[in-house]
Amino acid sequence: MTRLSPLATEVMSKNIVEFKGVTKTYNVGSRDAFTAISDVTFEIEDLPGKGEFITVLGPSGCGKSTVLRMIAGLDPQHPPTSGSVLVSGTPVMGPGPDRGMVFQDYTSFDNRTVLDNVAFGLECRGIDRATRHEKAREWIQRVGLNVQSDAGKFPHELSGGMRQRVAIARTLILHPRIILMDEPFGALDPHTRQQMQDLLIQLWNDVEATVFFVTHSIEEAVYLGDRVFIFSRGPGRLQHQIPIPRSTVPTHEIHRDPDYQRRVLEISEIMEQLESQKP
Ligand SMILES: Nc1ncnc2c1ncn2[C@@H]1O[C@H](COP(=O)(O)OP(=O)(O)O)[C@@H](O)[C@H]1O
Ligand SMILES: [Mg+2]
């Protein structure tokens, strides 16, 4: 029988992300002081070779972006006013290569081609041109763009869906352990959105990362999530964590699945209650 040393056990049981009593007040000490989230506590276990997909719901202004940006280590959300934000057991000190972020608004560089946008992170890491372009072409293909016809285009020549494919490729090419997505498909039409959801699930199965995905769509949260976080308003608190068992129903039939429908309804009722509370 192999015995693990106490140290090894500790390392193995580490959480990939943990919030311990996290409160964020913006503009502390001024008349504009505003507490966005209060006493938020949760743990996301590190599941090697299989990250968890967390979807995040809550009324507008309840602090969803604040939570994501704290994990990313971005100012002024970082650092917390009190409590601690831990990634892999260590307090977040700032941005790092273990975390990648995809925003709703298309954040590619206008003056760079698709190829050079996707290769950007590798360029920052000092990877030589031939190697980073080869990797970038591989990722352009993986996110469903056409290497021949799309790699040389500039962002203004792309549709919204294509731009988000570029944003996803730009992030995943760096192999982050944690992917932070802030309403990434919020601006897309329903059909494109569904295509992007399927693409994301397919990529996520390969990249084995933990995902935090903020959305306004309850359907999207239930469809994508292993666990749905629901925040309440003013200041935001984590009210519910609802586990969603992986569905075996094929994608195009999910909307007719009774379990899926029941969960959407259950969460809709929770959300209606939260939305109706006074800010
Ligand atoms: N940099 C900031 N300075 C002051 N207040 C902020 C800042 N960022 C966000 N807030 C406020 O904190 C609250 C939560 O914001 P946010 O995290 O963006 O909410 P959500 O993403 O859930 O809509 C909002 O009331 C917002 O106005
Ligand atoms: Mg937001």
Q: Of 127, 148, 175, which residue constitutes the final position of a domain?
A: 175
Residues 146 and 86 in one domain: no
DSSP letters, 30-55, are STT-EEEEEEEEEEEE--TT---EEE
Q: Give the number of the atom of ligand 1 that is nearest the alpha carbon of residue 62.
A: 22
Specify if 127 maps to a domain.
yes
Q: Residue of the nearest CA to atom 6 in ligand 1?
A: 26
Do 125 and 209 reside in the same domain of the chain? Answer: no
CATH of the domain at 26: 3.40.50.300
- How many other C-beta atoms can be found within 10 angstroms of the C-beta atom of residue 46? 19
Tokens of 101: 């972020």
**Residue 44 Cα, ligand 1 centroid: separation in angstroms?**
23
**C-beta of residue 173 within 8 angstroms of C-beta of residue 122:** yes
Question: What's the predicted TM-score (pTM) here?
Answer: 0.92
Among 66, 181, 278, which is best to mutate for testing ligand 1, by the most ligand atoms less than 8 A from CB?
A: 66
Same domain, yes or no, for 27 and 154?
no
Q: Which domain holds residue 76?
A: 16-98+185-254+261-279
Query: β-strands 210-214, 53-57: how paired?
Result: parallel
pLDDT in tens, the chain (279 residues): 445 555 554 455 589 999 999 999 999 999 999 999 999 999 999 987 889 999 999 999 999 999 999 999 999 999 999 999 999 999 999 999 999 999 887 678 999 999 999 999 999 999 999 999 999 999 999 999 999 999 999 999 999 999 999 999 999 999 999 999 999 999 899 999 999 999 999 999 888 899 999 999 999 999 999 999 999 998 999 999 999 998 888 777 888 999 999 999 999 999 999 988 876
d(C-alpha 220, C-alpha 218), whole Å:
5
- Tell me whether residue 147 is in a domain: yes
- Ligand 1 atom nearest residue 182's Cα: 21
- Same domain for 33 and 115: no
CA nearest ligand 1 atom 24, residue? 61
* Residues contacting 191, CB < 8 A, separation 6+: none
Report if residue 88 sits inside a domain: yes
